[in-house]
Amino acid sequence: MGRVPPGLLIMSAQRVSSTGTPALFVTLGMLYFAQGLPAGLLGKSMPALARDAGLSPEWIGLLALPALPWALKFLWAPWVDRWGSGKPNHRKRWVLACVFAVMLVLAITALFPREWLFGPGFALLVALLFLLNLFSATQDIATDGLATRLLTPDLRGLGNSIQVNGYKIGMILGSGALLIMVGRWGWQGTLASLIVALLLVALVVWRFREPREQIKPRRPVTLRWWRRQLTLFWWRPKMAVWLVILLGYKVGDGFGTRMIKPFLVDRQWSLEAIGRLDLVSSLVGLAGAALAGVLLMRLSRKLALFGFAGLQALSFLGWWMVASSEADHWIWPVALFEQFADGLSTVALFVLMMDYCRSGHEGSDYTMQASVQLFAVGAFTLASGFSAAWLGYAGHFLLAAILCTAVIMAAFFWQAPLDGNAQKVTP
């Protein structure tokens, strides 16, 4: 393992001691779990519930609009990084405030019947989902900054594996498990269970001792300062290629998966059957994310990033095959493989995003990259319903596979910012 150059070392006060590393991993896992709950609700449960309620694919695709805060969070990320910086538990306080805000939104949502929300109250549902994503996105800024600051480069593979696994467990509860629970416990009972789960997250975060950040003299956060930080981040060697990768890496995945649940509903699958499939396939996704953490300690960044992208493309060729036939016996293996590939590729992408962050700007740098990536994914997700309506499900999944494959071309022009797993190539 290479030595981290002195200029890139973070002050010892910013690092978690070896004895505190397990506590950090547990806390990060719980925080990303909390983010996975609304993501699963919006990205996976809502398409199935909406199609079951009779909404057209075009409207289901447009239901991605409440996720807009995730693409725009870079606008307020510098303020999250700066407000309270140097004080005890800087990012912890941001996280707790956002978790309680999400709980409040869920409690308000539970006051209204599900039938009314998907009917006359649809506008209110969209507004509540927007607030849910706004608070979750803000929590993500603080959490990403905490993770990037405290995880050493050699621990980022394992750390991001825990991150993705926590996120996927949250998505399991917010997607497949939620669809099953709605049928058994009702709408209000299901949302109440989500609130209880978030209370447990808040308890874990409250007990975590965040190391105090180094106090640095900083300029006030202004529009001019914000533009300068954008310039300093992107005006580095070979960042144009990385920008192309960020824009294209998860586009095919988001575009394709948006229509999987409506496709299954149109295949006459019940919500409970879809929930069971999503539950099991998400567990396989956890295995993929866990394996990625181990593989990234052994594989080069380039091989992992683009090799896993190839598996992602292959999974949507599988969905194209399923949609092109009348038989359903391939649905389970294809769904399992798609989630496995998603776990691998997501961890690889998140690790590289951390590698590109500058010391002292971890939260805003990571968020900026995530926003670029999510903006591209969101744009294609909005169009996914129109694609499925015009091309049919088979044509839609084939197009998703092509989009996943296209980004692999960038491998010929890209050089990883880390040599091996720990050493910066450029200062």
pLDDT for 394 equals 95
Work out the average pLDDT over 291-301. 87
Question: Looking at per-residue confidence, does 252 or 82 come out higher?
Answer: 252
**Model confidence pLDDT, tens digit, residues 315-354:** 999 999 999 998 888 999 999 999 999 999 998 998 899 8
Pick the range with the lowest mean pLDDT from 198-212, 337-351, 381-395. Answer: 198-212
Pick the range with the lowest mean pLDDT from 65-79, 240-254, 294-308. Answer: 65-79
pLDDT for 397 equals 96
Closest among 419, 282, 294, 402 to 342, alpha carbons compared: 282
Residue 420: pLDDT above 70?
Answer: no
pLDDT for 144 equals 78
Average pLDDT, the chain: 81
* C-alpha–C-alpha distance, residues 78 and 99, integer Å: 20
- Model confidence band, residue 28 (pLDDT cutoffs 50, 70, 90): confident
Ramachandran angles phi, psi of 418, nearest 5°:
-115, 135
**Model confidence pLDDT, tens digit, residues 149-183:** 777 777 777 777 787 778 878 887 777 777 788 77
Domains of the chain: 16-212+222-421 (1.20.1250.20)
Question: Looking at per-residue confidence, does 176 or 190 come out higher?
Answer: 190
Work out the average pLDDT over 276-284. 87
Collect all residues with Cβ–Cβ distance below 8 Å to 257 and sequence separation of at least 6. 43, 338, 342
Model confidence, pTM:
0.69
